[in-house]
């Protein structure tokens, strides 16, 4: 309550008027005022003037808060902008940083990117609150890491490219900094150079789990690169991960990727693998709400039953897509799953599977597409 009164001039006036109507002696009234809202809001002389004005029935005036209190009021949205701007129409001889129009202060801070805005946080408490009040939430951010041990990043569609290790790390100190879509890239070549750069791990440059990101899109050459870049995202904030194809020889390293905290705690995953996975890999996706992967290998008919039985145990699953390269045609897959096959040409077929000992079902839509089969599965609750 005290914080609300402190930042709301109208409520402060009502509080003082209540004291006047109660005929509380002015000194006792001021002591009560300080107990409720603090001693730093208003000096005794100012309080006395307001008390006397209200005692005379003069109510048509505005309480002028201290600049720090005004900025705090704006930060928590308890005061509109227009009356605040009028308060700052002061004598030119008294103008300073804290006396400039609040709208101008917001405009200045709003034109700075989050890294530049960190400098404002060290000016004073009011300016720090002003800087922190501008939500540093970006629709997208791209981070690139090169074999030259260079780090580059951009925000949204802004072509301006930022670089330097220390600056990016400062983002972790900004309250509320978030990125909706984080794009992570690594490049193995950095152009002609006379120097052989020693290979540096990204973990030696950036702290782990320092970025709040909602969706992460990773395009790298190796799984180890993917794990390094993914490590900078906070596991608990991730909703989805998309991994673009990596080198074909990297398939054996995927268990490391599945064991990252980021993968274990996200809810949606898409892996665009060129090689594809064995059926056994499905167990790694049991915690997800949705996923898209490619399965390939030397399939036998029983493998399609195993896919259906395995996915039927995923309690949190809402939907998934499996691109299956197996050598089996759609009719053969339907036969393996015990689906009644219609006569004539067959490109798409639907199938509902009742999960044993449950009132829930899996809806299958199986589509034929050249050398592969697309299997779309939805869990019906």
User: pLDDT tens digits for 144-185?
Assistant: 877 666 777 887 777 777 776 556 666 666 667 788 899 988
Whether residue 199 sits in one domain with residue 100: no
Whether residue 263 sits in one domain with residue 188: yes
Residue whose token pair is 């006395």: 48
| More confidently predicted of 90 and 289 | 289
| Interval 136-148 mean pLDDT | 78
Confidence check: pLDDT of 89 > 60: no
What's the structural domain count of the chain? 2
Tokens of 346: 């067959």
| More confidently predicted of 216 and 57 | 216
Which residues lie below 8 Å from residue 293, measured CB to CB, with a gap of 6+? 269, 270, 271, 273, 276, 277, 281, 285, 320, 321, 322, 323
- 300: in domain: no
Whether residue 187 sits in one domain with residue 249: yes
Whether residue 141 sits in one domain with residue 100: no
- 337: in domain: no
Whether residue 98 sits in one domain with residue 229: no
Which of 11-15, 176-180, 192-196, 312-316 has the largest mean confidence? 312-316
> Residue 26 belongs to what domain range?
2-105
Domain boundary pick from 275, 310, 344: 275
Q: Report the pLDDT value the prediction gives residue 64, as an integer from 0 to 100.
A: 52
Average pLDDT of the chain is: 77
- 116: in domain: no
| Interval 128-149 mean pLDDT | 75
Q: Report the pLDDT value the prediction gives residue 379, as an integer from 0 to 100.
A: 94
Helix ranges, 140-222 (H)? 165-169
- 51: in domain: yes
- 178: in domain: yes
Q: Report the pLDDT value the prediction gives residue 297, as an integer from 0 to 100.
A: 81
Whether residue 214 sits in one domain with residue 93: no
Q: In 10 A of CB 8, how many CB atoms?
A: 19
Cα–chain-centroid distance for residue 68? 30
| More confidently predicted of 80 and 38 | 38
Whether residue 267 sits in one domain with residue 152: yes
| Interval 66-81 mean pLDDT | 43
| Interval 68-73 mean pLDDT | 44
Confidence check: pLDDT of 69 > 50: no
Whether residue 65 sits in one domain with residue 178: no
Whether residue 145 sits in one domain with residue 219: yes
- Provide Rg for the chain, Cα atoms: 31
Whether residue 160 sits in one domain with residue 257: yes
Confidence check: pLDDT of 138 > 60: yes
Whether residue 143 sits in one domain with residue 91: no
Cα dihedral value 226, 227, 232, 234, nearest 10: 110
Q: Are strands 178-187 and 213-219 parallel, antiparallel or unpaired?
A: parallel
Nearest to 230 by CA among 201, 253, 209: 209
Q: What would the pLDDT profile of 259-307 be if each residue is shown by its tens digit?
A: 999 999 999 999 987 677 888 889 999 999 999 999 888 888 899 999 9
DSSP per-residue string spanning 83-149:
HHHHHT---GGG--GGGS-HHHHHHHHHTS-HHHHGGGGGT-HHHHHHHHHS--EEEEEEEEEETTS
Q: Report the pLDDT value the prediction gives residue 207, as an integer from 0 to 100.
A: 65
Beta carbons of 186 and 225 less than 8 angstroms apart = yes
Q: Report the pLDDT value the prediction gives residue 328, as an integer from 0 to 100.
A: 87
Q: Report the pLDDT value the prediction gives residue 129, as an integer from 0 to 100.
A: 74
Q: Report the pLDDT value the prediction gives residue 36, as an integer from 0 to 100.
A: 78
CA distance 293 to 307: 13
Confidence check: pLDDT of 96 > 80: no
| More confidently predicted of 325 and 12 | 325
- 66: in domain: yes
| More confidently predicted of 122 and 302 | 302
Whether residue 206 sits in one domain with residue 95: no
């Amino acid at each position: 309550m005290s914080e609300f009164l402190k930042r709301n001039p109208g409520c402060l006036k009502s509080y003082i008027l209540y004291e006047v109507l109660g005929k509380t002696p002015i000194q006792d009234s001021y002591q009560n005022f300080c107990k409720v809202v603090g001693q730093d809001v208003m000096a005794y002389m100012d309080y006395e003037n307001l008390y006397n004005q209200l005692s005379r029935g003069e109510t048509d005036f505005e309480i002028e808060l201290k600049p720090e209190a005004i900025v705090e009021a704006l930060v928590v949205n308890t005061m509109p902008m227009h009356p605040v701007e009028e308060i700052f129409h002061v004598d030119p001889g008294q103008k300073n940083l804290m006396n400039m129009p609040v709208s101008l202060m917001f405009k200045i801070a709003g034109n700075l990117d989050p890294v530049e805005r960190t400098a404002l946080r060290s000016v004073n408490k009011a300016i720090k609150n002003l800087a922190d009040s501008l939500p540093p939430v970006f629709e997208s951010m791209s981070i690139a890491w090169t074999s030259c041990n260079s780090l580059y990043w951009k925000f949204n569609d802004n072509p301006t490219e930022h670089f330097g290790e220390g600056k990016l790390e400062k983002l972790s100190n900004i309250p509320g900094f978030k990125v909706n879509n984080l794009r992570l890239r690594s490049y193995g070549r950095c152009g002609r150079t006379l120097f052989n750069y020693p290979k540096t791990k990204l973990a030696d440059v950036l702290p782990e789990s320092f970025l709040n990101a909602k969706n992460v899109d990773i395009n790298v050459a190796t799984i180890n690169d993917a794990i390094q870049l993914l490590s900078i995202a906070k596991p608990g904030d991730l909703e989805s991960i998309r991994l673009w194809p990596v080198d074909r020889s990297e398939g054996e390293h995927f268990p490391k990727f599945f064991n990252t905290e980021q993968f274990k705690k996200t809810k949606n995953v898409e892996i665009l693998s060129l090689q594809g996975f064995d059926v056994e890999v499905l167990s790694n996706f049991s915690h997800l709400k949705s996923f898209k992967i490619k399965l390939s290998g030397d399939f036998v008919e029983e493998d399609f039953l195993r896919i259906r039985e395995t996915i039927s145990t995923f309690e949190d699953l809402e939907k998934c897509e499996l691109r299956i390269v197996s050598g089996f045609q759609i009719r053969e897959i339907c036969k393996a799953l015990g689906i009644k096959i219609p006569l004539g040409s067959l490109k798409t077929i639907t199938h509902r599977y009742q999960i044993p000992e449950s009132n829930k079902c899996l809806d299958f839509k199986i589509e034929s597409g050249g050398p592969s089969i697309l299997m779309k599965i939805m869990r019906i609750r």
